[in-house]
Chains A and B, each alone.
Chain A
Amino acid sequence: MITIEEVSKTFPDGTEAVKDLSLEIEEGETVVLLGTSGSGKTTTMKMVNRLIEPTSGRISVDGQDIMDQDPVQLRRHIGYAIQSIGLFPHMTLGENISVVPQLLGWDQPRTDDHVDQLLNMVQLEPEVYRDRFPSQLSGGQRQRVGVARSLAGDPPVVLMDEPFGALDPITREQLQNEFLELEDEIKKTVVFVTHDVFEAVKMGDRIALLDAGELQQLSSPAELVDNPANEFVSQFLGQQRFQLALVTRTLEFLLDKGIVERTDEELPDGPSLSRHDSLIQALDRFKTTGETVLPIRGGGRAIGELSKKKLLSIIAEVLGESGEESQ
């Protein structure tokens, strides 16, 4: 969907923000651009909708070179969300969300339907919120509107620059979860910029870790955590690597490794675990259900069984690796 080929960006002051970057983003995929400030992640993102023009290299969206397109038209077909400040304070939420549909020339009834649909999607009751102003919302609500606005006009590609950056940890987690569920429904191609490795691991299908304008590793979150490609990646993950493993390692991984025995039985009624659940999510299931043993479901069947005791010992083992390593 998005192809970045040997792209470099040097600013007029001589700063080389991005160096010879190549990256392919599949349709429907969420790729997280991860890095510290100055790593070139935001510059890379802004080159996709030509807010910043590349110095060299080629970027194409849906097979078309972006440099051949009118930047204004290009941007109207790419969703864009930034940190909370991005809402226009003088417009109601409805008007904020209507901006792109109106730029695209949609008629009023279609725009209004779309606005209500998007507000519903981000769990804001349209009747209540449509005519409110951003100043009347909480930070989390504003951020939801920011997400809804970036999806307005049905763009196939959405660029998000730390969209949950300015939120408290609890609201942030909630919004991340909501967005993941939303993503499952709408299947957009998302370029997501963050400096937070936990967020990256949680949100990304793949993560592109950048440093000083250069790509250090492009892989799935699990791969990133389990097999750091170089010294920089190891250092970047640091001690968090083992906590991250609790998030990236799924029950599937345990079944594959034979740590949990694979079975094939009829799935009993009642609570169960998904094979895609991470260790942390599985632990959470035990806590919320109060069960001591839960079946693991996969393809509508029970493909294994995990006790709370076993899970805790596995977790202890994962975290233990960090203890050993630091000795």
Chain B
Amino acid sequence: MNLSKIISDLGGEIAFRTYEHLFLTFAAMLIAIAIAVPLGIVLARTRLKAMPPLVMGAAGVVQTVPSLALIAFIVVIFALVTLPTIGVVPGLVALVLYALLPILRNTFTGIRQVDPNMIEVAQGMGMTSRQILTSVELPLALPVIMAGIRISTVWTIGVATLCALIGAGGLGDLILQGLQSIQMDKLLAGTIPAAALALVLDGMLSGLEKWLTPAGIREDEGEAPAGDEEPVKKKAKMPVKTRLILASAIVGIISLALFLPRIDWKGMMAGEDQRTVTTASGQTVPRETLAAGFDAEFLSRPDGYPGLKDHYNLEFEEPPRQLDPGLMYKAAAEGQVDVICAFATDGRIAAFDLTVLEDDQSYFPPYYAAPVVRADTLNAHQGLRDVLNMLADGIADEEMQELNYRVDEEGEQARAVALDFLTQKGLIDPGAQAPEGTGARIHVGGKNFTEQIILGQMMCLLLEHHTNLRPVRKLNLGGTMVCFGALKAGDLDLYVEYTGTGLVNILDQEPISDPQQVYDIVDREFRQEFDLVWLDPIGINNTYTLAMRTEQAERLGIETISDLAEYLRE
């Protein structure tokens, strides 16, 4: 964990994510300023007494919603009205909503706090309402407005890290990957630039605030002793208006520099873009830009994108977007991204008309699911092993797909789906009530995606119906390394892990394609190294795959990952 290593390993990504972060922050702030400043002015000058508290109240309510929830609300609402649920747009909407209040409030109070005598004298001298605004109210309110913008900017930089959840990019990507893989390097690579950005922008805005504050009301100016007859130094002072214009111009140039690279020139010239690609099978197909969206874990684990990229020499035109695993499939189905990482057992692959690309070079190791249990737990509770092994080889891939689909898309409860399945399989008597457990507590873990939650529920249900142990459900933990760390530390007693994940991600070994061999290695190594026991595999092989929309894959003649890599190279 030394900094120079972080920079040499992740430097390119840090730079790109920082750029994305700046882009999000700038875009959100420009929009927020464009809305909040005029609105604040109108509110401060309106004669309708009921208006200001109403609008400020509404903005205040938005502010009280936790930022994570606000982003979630926007995704849900956008989904209802069929707006894009991932990417920059929903992210920006959340950031703008969050940034509004401080600017609005400061503009309002900044103008309201101007001495009414000052307004009256300006009126008495024959200034129009507009002249009073531009020559008296705004210059006097400017420092307060700038302070609001500053507060907003610092907040926005912080909240923008959360936008990584919905594929808007930014430094949050690195932070989430760091969390998923428990890697301090990535965590720091995301956090330090974010903190530095906040400090630098705060400093710059604070300087700008001082520079824009009219000289007469600057605090450091001090009161010259009365009767001091020394002529003041004649320095060419720039009027506030000129300074404002200059500052706006600089901000404009920075914005342009940030925005230009984001404009999809290729997309704009799509009409003229007649480039084609000849596929391996000799077909000539149109050349399209393919966007990838992967979840944070896939992006960071060695048997995920980093290894896949090297193995197949896969190079997307833009770095893959990071997406929440729950949003990935929908994003692909709606065409917001083209290539996603998918779990073979996910029901949405079929339901959303996606096609799995064949892993023709057998890159991905097998990922057979099996309960991993602490050896001391097994020893302490006779018969626990047999109960958990009731599921051995009990679930087929297709069955798992269906179970996942019922939870993900049909809104059923994971527990109900699990109970239903176990009953059908005769592992639990229909209508039987689980006896009130009196034995020890068993902590059952699960990672934060549907299949893990269903499997975790099954483990718990089996324990409840067939032992007197009392399972404690910890079924929505933040990923492999979080679960594994908790199991190793004794905070969990068991969770369902996948053999390939154990081999590559936890044991840090090269992928192997023979399932039995993988199982043997992880079983042996886990016992020796961690005193953990792999029980019998439950049948499903939830391998990682890449998936595309069936229609697009067929049109572009892409069937395998090699096809994809070749297509992208053309």
A residues bordering B, Cβ < 8 Å?
Answer: 46, 49, 51, 72-77, 80, 82-83, 85-86, 88-92, 99-100, 103, 125, 127-128, 131-138, 141, 149, 159
Contact = CB atoms under 8 A, between A and B. Distances in A.
Interface of B: 115, 117-118, 120-128, 131, 135-136, 139-140, 214-217, 221, 223-224, 226-227, 229-232, 234, 237, 240
Contact of A131 (B125, B226, B232): B232
Given A80-B121, A137-B226, 17 more contacts: A75-B124, A80-B125, A82-B121, A86-B118, A88-B216, A89-B140, A90-B140, A90-B217, A90-B240, A91-B214, A99-B125, A99-B127, A99-B135, A103-B125, A132-B224, A134-B216, A136-B232
Given A72-B126, A90-B240, A133 B117 contact: no
A100 B466 CA distance: 93
Contact of B229 (A49, A92, A125, A133): A125
A88 B115 CA distance: 10
B229 A91 contact: no
A133 B226 contact: no
A90 B216 contact: yes
A95 to B, nearest CB: 9
Per CB-CB distance, the 6 closest pairs between chain A and chain B, nearest first, are A90-B214, A138-B226, A133-B216, A76-B126, A75-B126, A80-B124
Given A51-B120, A80-B124, A90-B216, A135 B229 contact: no
Contact of B217 (A125, A135, A149): A135
Contact of A51 (B124, B215, B230): B124
Contacts of A76: 125-126
12 contacts: A51-B124, A72-B126, A76-B125, A83-B117, A90-B139, A90-B215, A90-B217, A103-B125, A103-B131, A128-B229, A136-B223, A138-B226
Nearest to A146: B121
A159 B234 CA distance: 34
A2 to B, nearest CB: 16
Given A72-B126, A90-B217, A103-B127, A136 B224 contact: yes
- The interface centre, meaning the residue of B117, B124, B237 with most chain A CB atoms within 10 A of its CB, is B124
Contact of B126 (A73, A83, A134, A138): A73
A141 B224 CA distance: 12
Contacts of A88: 118, 122, 135-136, 216
Contacts of B231: 127-128
Nearest to B228: A136
A82 B122 CA distance: 11
A132 B232 CA distance: 7
B215 A133 contact: yes
Contacts of B118: 85-86, 88
Nearest to B235: A131
Given A125-B229, A127-B231, A135-B221, A85 B115 contact: yes
A83 B121 CA distance: 10
A224 B115 CA distance: 37
A93 B20 CA distance: 47
Nearest to B229: A128
B47 to A, nearest CB: 13
B131 A51 contact: no
A79 to B, nearest CB: 9
A176 to B, nearest CB: 19
Nearest to B224: A136
Nearest to A159: B124
A17 to B, nearest CB: 16
B112 to A, nearest CB: 17
A46 B121 CA distance: 11
B509 to A, nearest CB: 70
B117 A135 contact: no
A86 B231 CA distance: 24
A133 B219 CA distance: 12
Nearest to B116: A85
Given A51-B124, A72-B126, A90-B139, A85 B226 contact: no
A92 B118 CA distance: 15
Contacts of A80: 121, 124-125
